Amino acid sequence: MDENLKKLLEKQQYRFSGNHSVVKICRWTKKSLVEGKVCYKEKWYPPVKSHRCMQMSPSLVCNHRCLFCWRLHSGDRGFSWKESFEGLVLDEPKDILEKCIEQRKSLLTGFKGFERVDKRKWEEALKPNMMAISLTGEPTMYPKLDELIQEAKRMNIISFLVTNGTLPDRLQSLNTKPFQLYVTLPAPNKETYKKLCQPSTPKLWDKIMETLELIDSFDCRKVIRLTLVKGLNMVEPEEYAKLIEKANPDFVEAKGYVHVGESQKRLPMDAMPYHEDIIEFSKEIEKHSSFRIKDVFKPSRVVLLKK
């Protein structure tokens, strides 16, 4: 990796745990320690605890270039990198986990000195019991994902796997299922998807459709995530509803795009919907599906739907 790119990512508080694996402290981990506030995952999905959640990824690479993504894409700011694992020396799952925990501990060290920090929580935070495989890139592109989830389980760490759904074969081959599977449904149709996600190959929408067919067979908690962008994919709620019914997840999260990070260079400020916009769109999905609004979390502009 270009050293200047690595320095930029480290300046953004990413820490490398090998050649292609990274970890970072989630802002809700910080809020939990300093302010006692927790994220919606702790509110909705037991046994999540925000201060003990390790946000990481075994893959810096992705097969999407989503306009709403706050992360760097290859080609941004003059940087470029290989968008596949072909020819790379793979980080081993055990090494990834051990280094992520070590790097995360280093990032949390300074919080102990803050007067407002709950010291009991801080001690617990140093020993994560949940791994959100979601930080950057597309984690299912990492060839040893199954072993990574297995290793986490061996260490009594539950896994939340967040995927764009473009590699159904990789998901199907998982011998150890994550504790919770998130699949992003970014659009109601192929045309909107291609415009918004800029996929690396033309067949990825069909792969997402395959993943939706596969989800119901997973023996774990399953969530469909909608990342909603005003003026782009907040259309055709009835089509979203059809796709959601096909997947038959346990939960649906309708979440508003946030105008932060690199996405600010790709989208205007008014592409960010208000919380009320997300609620209204969720009500439209209700009309066309068996899912109903169960809760909202305004700080993250997200609505939870469940049958």
Whose CA is closest to 160, among 10, 63, 39? 39
pTM: 0.94
Q: 226 near 254, Cβ under 8 Å?
A: yes
Sign of CA dihedral 195, 225, 101, 149: negative
pLDDT per position as a tens digit, 206-243:
999 999 999 999 999 999 999 999 999 999 999 999 99
∠ CA 220-225-229, nearest 5°, is 175
Phi/psi for 115 (5° steps) reads -60, -35
Architecture of domain 3-306: Alpha-Beta Barrel (3.20)
Question: Which residue, chain included where needed, has tokens 């997300």?
Answer: 278
Domain residue ranges of the chain, discontinuous segments joined by +: 3-306
Phi/psi for 163 (5° steps) reads -130, 155
pLDDT at 199 (0 to 100):
95
| Mean pLDDT, range 253-258, rounded to an integer | 98
Indicate the burial class of 50 (C-beta count within 10 angstroms; 0-12, 13-18, 19 or more). Answer: buried
pLDDT at 75 (0 to 100):
81
pLDDT at 32 (0 to 100):
97
pLDDT per position as a tens digit, 53-111:
999 999 989 999 999 999 988 888 888 777 788 888 899 999 999 999 999 999 999 99
Indicate the burial class of 29 (C-beta count within 10 angstroms; 0-12, 13-18, 19 or more). Answer: buried
pLDDT at 80 (0 to 100):
78
pLDDT at 3 (0 to 100):
86
Indicate the burial class of 219 (C-beta count within 10 angstroms; 0-12, 13-18, 19 or more). Answer: exposed
Query: Three-state DSSP class for 180?
Result: strand
Residue 246 is encoded by which pair of tokens? 């096909």
* Strands of the sheet with 221-228, listed across from one edge: 15-16, 22-24, 53-57, 130-133, 158-163, 180-184, 221-228, 251-256, 302-306, 292-297
DSSP state of 73: P
pLDDT per position as a tens digit, 30-40:
999 999 999 99
Indicate the burial class of 17 (C-beta count within 10 angstroms; 0-12, 13-18, 19 or more). Answer: buried
Sign of CA dihedral 19, 109, 149, 39: negative
- In order of 20, 21, 34, the CA distances from 108 in angstroms are 22, 19, 12
Residue 250 is encoded by which pair of tokens? 């346990």
pLDDT at 79 (0 to 100):
82
pLDDT at 72 (0 to 100):
86
Q: 132 near 26, Cβ under 8 Å?
A: yes
pLDDT per position as a tens digit, 149-206:
999 999 999 999 999 999 999 999 999 999 999 999 999 999 999 999 999 998 999 9
More confident residue, 18 or 132: 132
